[in-house]
Amino acid sequence: MMREMTYLEAIRDALAYEMRRDPRVLLMGEDIGVYGGAFKVTQGLLDEFGSERVIDTPMAELCMVGVASGMAFVDLIPVVEIQFADFISNGFDSIVNFAATNHYRWGAPVPIVVRAPSGGGLRSGPFHSQNPEAWFVHTPGLKVIIPATPADARGLLISAIRDPNPVIYLESKYLYRSLRGSTPDGEDGVTPIGVAAIRRAGDDLSIITYGPMVHEALTAAETLAKEGASLEVLDLRSLKPLDVEAILTTVAKTSKVLIVHEANIMASVGGEIAALIAEHAFEHLDGPIMRVAAPDTPVPYSPPLEDAYRPDATRIAAAARELLAY
């Protein structure tokens, strides 16, 4: 069965679905119980599942992830909410030095999910708008996923909860209530980790992107279609593991590649994808690999400055035209 829901509702639905299915699943985070979460993602779950499974925590991300890892060792499956992705740096040691390495060191899996609302567009300034995915993609032992649709927000979170090792689940605050979509119910809606999705087929140029930039890329592709250009949009969905086959297939198909992401450009996931293409698909390229990303500055608070900072359909279309003309 298909249901229409927002991106936020899809996340809540996945949490409730897995908590009903498996009594080992529990939630932890700041204000997620009585208050329902800073963005109301967990609203209503305390009433259904009680305070032993929807746990309000102190403002201590390092402790939250450490406790969650310990819970995982006694056959529980904790889902930790970081109130804003920016604060995940406070839990960095527990994530990177302990949870990510434990299966390698001890042979014991750490089935935890760290949910982190990320990205800008809401005029929240540099402490509440960051995109920290590159830190965790760089870390062996972690999986990193970023859904772009309500269906994937639900399906990827279910897969993350069922995964035997730590998953960083980055969710777009900008899409929470601005995006609605048809979402499969039950087991039909489970999305596998590590599989990209073609959101629009095309022949002239490939846009490789993820998260909220998928929708900006689709808008740009629609604009250029009116100008006679056929653009393919590949939504990575999973940043680690990457769907390398899907990336190389779209490069071979169109021979021109534009990589787009909201995170700042320096040492980014986009740079890794560009290197991957240069190493394994150079003979297919008919132009330089181009990138559209945020500049290497903190996220501005001022609305016009933030609009200039974040990539959008206009900038993507301009870069695509330049590459098509190469």
| Mean pLDDT value of segment 34-48 | 97
> In sequence order, what are the beta bridge partners of 4?
182
| Total count of residues recorded for the chain | 326
Q: What mean pLDDT, rounded, does the chain reach? A: 97
Which tens digits make up the pLDDT trace of 209-257? 999 999 999 999 999 999 999 999 999 999 999 999 999 999 999 999 9
> Cα separations (Å) of 148 from 106, 111, 212, 218, 275?
35, 23, 6, 12, 24
| Mean pLDDT value of segment 131-159 | 98
| Mean pLDDT value of segment 2-31 | 97
Minimal CA–CA distance to 209: which of 133, 139, 287?
A: 133
**188 — pLDDT class (breaks 50, 70, 90):** confident
| Mean pLDDT value of segment 136-160 | 98
Minimal CA–CA distance to 56: which of 78, 29, 79?
A: 29
Taking the C-alpha atoms of residue 162 and residue 242, their distance in angstroms, rounded to an integer, is: 19
Taking the C-alpha atoms of residue 290 and residue 129, their distance in angstroms, rounded to an integer, is: 24
Is it the case that residue 88 has pLDDT exceeding 90? yes
Catalytic residue status for 215: no
Radius of gyration (C-alpha) of the chain in whole angstroms: 19
Quote the pLDDT of residue 1.
Answer: 82
CATH architecture of 197-324: 3-Layer(aba) Sandwich (3.40)
Q: Tell me whether the CATH fold assigned to 2-189 matches the one assigned to 197-324.
A: yes
**292 — pLDDT class (breaks 50, 70, 90):** very high
The DSSP H or E segment spanning 319 is: helix 313-324
Taking the C-alpha atoms of residue 156 and residue 7, their distance in angstroms, rounded to an integer, is: 12
| Mean pLDDT value of segment 30-46 | 97
| Mean pLDDT value of segment 261-273 | 97
Minimal CA–CA distance to 195: which of 253, 239, 151?
A: 239
Please list, in sequence order, all residues whose beta carbon lies within 8 angstroms of the beta carbon of residue 184, skipping any fewer than 6 positions away: 1, 2, 151, 154, 155
Nearest-5° Cα angle at 84, 80 to 90: 70
**70 — pLDDT class (breaks 50, 70, 90):** very high
Per cent of the chain over pLDDT 90 is 97
CATH number of 2-189: 3.40.50.970
| Mean pLDDT value of segment 64-90 | 97
**293 — pLDDT class (breaks 50, 70, 90):** very high
By the 10 Å C-beta count (0-12 exposed, 13-18 middle, 19+ buried), 52 is classed as: exposed
The DSSP H or E segment spanning 254 is: helix 244-254
Residue extents of the structural domains in the chain = 2-189, 197-324
Q: Is the peptide bond prior to 58 cis by the omega test (within 30 degrees of 0)?
A: no
Positive or negative CA dihedral for 173, 177, 178, 180?
A: positive
Is 0.85 surpassed by the pTM of this model? Answer: yes
